[in-house]
Amino acid sequence: MCAVFGISRSGYYDWTRRKESRRSKRHERLKKQIRRIFFDHRLLYGSKKIWEVLKKQGVQVAEKTVARIMKELGLKSRTVRKYKATTNSKHNLPVAANVLNQQFQASVPNQVWMTDITYIPTDEGWLYLASVMDLYSRKIVGFHMDERMTKSLVIRALDQAYLLQKPRGEVLHHSDRGSQYASLEYQERLKTYKMKGSMSRKGNCYDNACIESFHSVLKKELVYLAKFKTRKEARERIFEYITCFYNGKRIHSSIGYFTPNQYERMYRLAA
């Protein structure tokens, strides 16, 4: 065989004994790390987020290299289309001023909470999800699901958030103008919890962009990748996604590519 290819026998054996190059070893190590991060985060991360995870792990690599290796491995984020939901704002109930005014920043936890409702399709019919987000950490601090979109749905989500977070100072509570949030019962609950109300302007979805973005992510990363046969199945999967993955594992660009739980914990430790 050596004669056919025109090489010496000693040269062939030298090639077989030659150690793998340092560059080749690093490439193989990167492939393993990238594959692990990709599958560890439910096949949802693109090259940007995987690159950020690698940086936090002390791995020095260019984002273009990560993208190239992902293409080489056939790793592509499985997220799909965006989803937008609206609530009924055609009512005669009193509404609060837009105090937040698209100032989507908070300096401490429990300073600003944002709330919204979205719809989850199942074979049994709609399941409605009310969520409460802490603007500081982007953490979902309270949520509740029901087969009807009532004021009880949003009240129970707020109650859970208050019970778990135990805010000490005044919280600015921002929502859209939906009748559930404008209801007398809900507004009384805000007074009980010493929260200041703020509502989006009529027909302006950007005023509640952060929490609507969360619901869009939920749709792309879970709901449209599954088909729920029952509301019970949807509840279980959404509960696990929010508490385990979204709050505990999914990194966010708006908070320095930390998870909501990490970011909140960092503040507590520093304080």
Q: What is the pLDDT of residue 84?
A: 45
Strands (E), the chain: 112-122, 125-134, 139-146, 171-175, 195-199
Q: What is the pLDDT of residue 45?
A: 86
Helix axes 151-165, 184-192, angle to 10 degrees: 10
Q: Which residues of 128-160 are buried (b: 16+ CB within 10 A; e: fewer)?
A: bbbbbbbbbbbbbbbbbbbeebebbbbbbbbeb
Whether residue 216 contacts residue 84, with contact meaning beta carbons closer than 8 Å, is answered with yes
- The mean pLDDT value of the chain amounts to 86
* Distance (Å, whole) CA 94 – CA 91: 9
Q: What is the pLDDT of residue 145?
A: 98
Is 50 exceeded by the pLDDT of residue 20? yes
Per-residue confidence band for 17, with pLDDT thresholds at 50, 70 and 90: low
Contacting residues for 19 by C-beta, under 8 A, at least 6 apart:
none
Average pLDDT of the segment spanning 173-195: 92
Of 123-137, 180-194, 205-219, 228-242, the poorest mean pLDDT is in 205-219
* Distance (Å, whole) CA 13 – CA 21: 17
Per-residue confidence band for 257, with pLDDT thresholds at 50, 70 and 90: very high
Q: What is the pLDDT of residue 19?
A: 59
Q: What is the pLDDT of residue 220?
A: 93
Helix axes 47-56, 63-73, angle to 10 degrees: 120
Average pLDDT of the segment spanning 150-161: 97
Is 80 exceeded by the pLDDT of residue 161? yes
Per-residue confidence band for 209, with pLDDT thresholds at 50, 70 and 90: confident
CA dihedral 11, 17, 19, 21 (to 10 degrees): 30
Give the phi and the psi of residue 204 in degrees, each rounded to 5: -110, 100
Q: Which of 164, 162, 132 is nearest to 145 (CA)?
A: 132
| Alpha carbon 60 to its chain's center | 26
Is 60 exceeded by the pLDDT of residue 54? yes
Q: What is the pLDDT of residue 40?
A: 86
Q: What is the pLDDT of residue 162?
A: 97
pLDDT tens column, 94-110: 665 656 656 668 899 99
pLDDT tens column, 116-155: 999 999 999 999 999 999 999 999 999 999 999 999 999 9
The neighbour count for residue 36, using CB atoms within 10 Å, is 12
Whether residue 173 contacts residue 198, with contact meaning beta carbons closer than 8 Å, is answered with yes
